[in-house]
Amino acid sequence: MSPVREPRHAPVREKRRPGLDRLRRDGWLAAHKWLILRRLVQAGFLAVFLTGPLWGVWITKGTFASSMTLDVLPLTDPMMALQSLLAGHVMETSGLVGAAIVLAAYALVGGRSFCGWACPVNVITDFAAWVRTRFGLKDAYPMDRRLRLLILGGVLAGSAATGTIVWEAVNPVTMLHRALVTGTLFGGGAALSITIAVLLFDLGVASRGWCGHLCPVGAFYALVGAKGVVRVSAVNRDACDNCMDCFAVCPERQVITPALRGAKNGIGPLILSGDCSNCGRCVDVCAKDVFIFTTRFHDGAGASVRGPAKKVLQGEKML
């Protein structure tokens, strides 16, 4: 880069990188803690399916649609079981038990944790969002986030009307996972096409378009996990300096506002929306340590926030 352009462009680029303040203060690892954890968990979910075909050590067989772990634990996609039921088929006991286990787990953990911590499509759409932020692309065609509920309704009604598990004809979640698990992603199948379509949709058509607006699987889990236990709390919201970094990284930015800015309206700091995928990126990027992971029963007030950080915050506030 020429010395003339450097100063003009540097601040602009900085502005486009949410989390830079946190990164500078605590280092890269701390500023990406939950992101790294999440990627590890996502990779782990894939790994348990892959050890068998790759090395002959079978941990989990099947795919996210339905699986069997260590020959004892059946797990079934509950939305799939619901569609099947509506289509007029009652699954085998193991399938139904599996669906009940998954349903209970996500209802307990809460929010769209599946989306943030298990779904392979999340990696694709997060990448698209990262590119959009990095290059400052404006939202092209804003859509209503309730569209996904409409699609979910359509999928369920469609299953009943056609007597088939309708969503499986197009579901990028199971298609991508299946292709990864069976090693057929680059075999010229539908999975790659659909994955590319989702990527391009999120890149060029609508910001956070797929997961945030259209995917009925996410909508389903948002309903299931609406009363879940694990929640993010904007416990330290008084320290917020409106840098907007959390809004920039949040895949469901509408969930932050009431918790972060609701003090004057008497709204607690807990992010209670089922749309929150518990991804923890807000926790990562915030240089003011506003957010923490906590439970629905404890908004985190009074919980220990790191001492030195607090001091820094107050110091800055006085300035």
Partner 1 sequence: MESRQAPAMTRRHMLSGAFRAACGAGLVAALLAVPARRRAEAVALRPPGAIDDAEFLSACVRCGLCVRDCPYNTLKLAEAADGQPVGTPFFNARTVPCEMCEDIPCVVACPTGALDKSLTDIKAAKMGVAVLVGQETCLNFLGLRCDVCYRVCPLIDQAITLERHHNERTGKHAVFIPTVHTDKCTGCGKCEKACVLEEAAIKVLPPALAVGVLGAHYRLGWEEKEKAGKSLIDGIIDLPDRMPEGPAPERLPGGGFKEFKP
Q: 264-273: string of b/e by CB count within 10 Å (b at 16+)? A: eeeebbbbbb
Q: Write the binding mask 183 to 222 for partner 1: x where contact by CB under 8 A, - elsewhere.
A: -x--xxxx--xx-xx--xx-xxx-----------------
Closer CB to partner 1, 105 or 190, in the complex: 190
φ, ψ for residue 207, nearest 5 deg: -65, 130
Closer CB to partner 1, 69 or 295, in the complex: 69
Residue 247 touches partner 1, criterion: CB under 8 A: no
Report d(CA 207, CA 252) in Å as an integer.
11
Residue-by-residue DSSP string for 62-78:
EETTEEEETTTEEEE-H
Closer CB to partner 1, 87 or 267, in the complex: 87
- In the three-class reduction of DSSP (H, G, I as helix; E, B as strand; rest coil), residue 199 is classed as helix
Instruction: Please identify which residue in 19, 38, 42, 95 interacts with partner 1, judged by CB under 8 A.
Output: 95
Q: Which two tokens stand for residue 22?
A: 């946190």
Instruction: Please identify which residue in 63, 125, 277, 294 interacts with partner 1, judged by CB under 8 A.
Output: 63
Report d(CA 134, CA 75) in Å as an integer.
38
Closer CB to partner 1, 67 or 233, in the complex: 67
Residue 176 touches partner 1, criterion: CB under 8 A: no
CA Rg value for the chain: 21
Closer CB to partner 1, 40 or 200, in the complex: 200
Residue 125 touches partner 1, criterion: CB under 8 A: no
Residue 151 touches partner 1, criterion: CB under 8 A: no
- Name residue 67's beta-bridge partners: 62, 75
- Would you call 165 exposed, middle or buried from its count of C-beta atoms within 10 A (0-12, 13-18, 19+)? buried
Instruction: Please identify which residue in 22, 38, 42, 67 interacts with partner 1, judged by CB under 8 A.
Output: 67
Which chain residues interact with partner 1 by CB under 8 A? 52, 61-63, 65-68, 74, 76-77, 80-81, 84, 87-92, 94-95, 98, 135-138, 140, 159, 163-165, 168-169, 174-175, 178, 181-182, 184, 187-190, 193-194, 196-197, 200-201, 203-205
